Amino acid sequence: PTPAPSPSAESIRLTVPDAKKAAASWVAQHNRTVKDRDWWDDPSKRDRLFWDGTRHEVVLDRGHVEDGDKGKIRKPIRLTGRQTYYVPRRQPPGGEWFILQATYRGQDRPHVLAFWRPEGESFKLAAKSPLHYGQRIPAPQLDAEGYVAAAPRVDGTDIALEYMAFWNNSTDRRAGTRGYRLAKDNYSRLAHPRVSKGLYASFTSFTASYGFRTRDGGSFYVFSLLNPPQAIFQVLTIGGFVPRGGKAIQEIAGSWYA
């Protein structure tokens, strides 16, 4: 397909090369920070690197380590292989974001990572999840200079609300009231009967969604569902795709972090 025409370069707040530099800088800072096993005792270090759901993940890891689970000690991140950047030309008020698909050394699946930079600060990791086996991030709608078309956040909010309604009230009539439904083969729908019988606490909020239009006219979003800050038991991060003209949510990536 013919790339969409792009407006003046003056409208670009975050370039693709800038996003690549930001990701490399974040990884380097992360790896320096985690060399200190007690790094999370300093809130400023946590807040400098993490945002939204990933800050909740740090709380979970710290609790596990304090309980004797050394496997939750943070290790350096080594990105290997091809890296794909999804950078929107038009950014929201108050900050900039981009999505990166990359593979970690020692991991057998690509990961999707969403980065957010609040105005006046550095980039922080806002969400991350491995792709489900056999899944790929849908091809984005690109303009002539390689920037993605940002998807409406209002739709991402509706999708996050549908996920929260499903997990908290999977048999409740409130699921599906926003027009969206988890697809019949959606991974969360298949996993729910097992997970909901284990240690599970209701989600009370969700993060901002980071999303772009796909080449077929659909949308792909990354977001996380959260417990209240006073009682963090798990974080569910989703990479969800809705094809053009559809309302069934396909789950491309998912991470149940507990």
In contact, 33 and 47? CB cutoff 8 Å: no
In a domain, 135, yes or no: no
Same domain assignment for residues 115 and 15: yes
In a domain, 38, yes or no: yes
In a domain, 84, yes or no: yes
Same domain assignment for residues 26 and 113: yes
pLDDT in the model for residue 224: 98
Domain stops at, among 130, 162, 194: 130
Same domain assignment for residues 162 and 211: yes
In a domain, 245, yes or no: yes
For residue 25, the enclosing domain spans 10-130
User: Which tokens sit at 235?
Assistant: 């974080």
Closest to 55 in 3D by CA, of 200, 205, 210, 226:
226
* Cα dihedral value 146, 152, 158, 160, nearest 10: 40
Same domain assignment for residues 59 and 158: no
In a domain, 28, yes or no: yes
pLDDT in the model for residue 81: 84
Counting as low any pLDDT under 70, the low residues of the chain are 1-10, 170-177, 197-199
Same domain assignment for residues 17 and 123: yes
In a domain, 148, yes or no: no
Same domain assignment for residues 162 and 96: no
Burial 194-230 (b: 16+ CB within 10 A, else e): eeeeeeeeebeebbbbbbbbbeeebbbbbbbbbbeee
In a domain, 139, yes or no: no
Same domain assignment for residues 180 and 237: yes
Same domain assignment for residues 113 and 172: no
Same domain assignment for residues 218 and 126: no
What is the total count of domains within the chain? 2
pTM of the entire structure?
0.92
Same domain assignment for residues 126 and 178: no
User: Which tokens sit at 5?
Assistant: 């025409």
Same domain assignment for residues 163 and 120: no
In a domain, 88, yes or no: yes
CA distance 220 to 203: 22
Domain stops at, among 96, 130, 164: 130
pLDDT in the model for residue 96: 98
Same domain assignment for residues 26 and 106: yes
pLDDT in the model for residue 152: 95
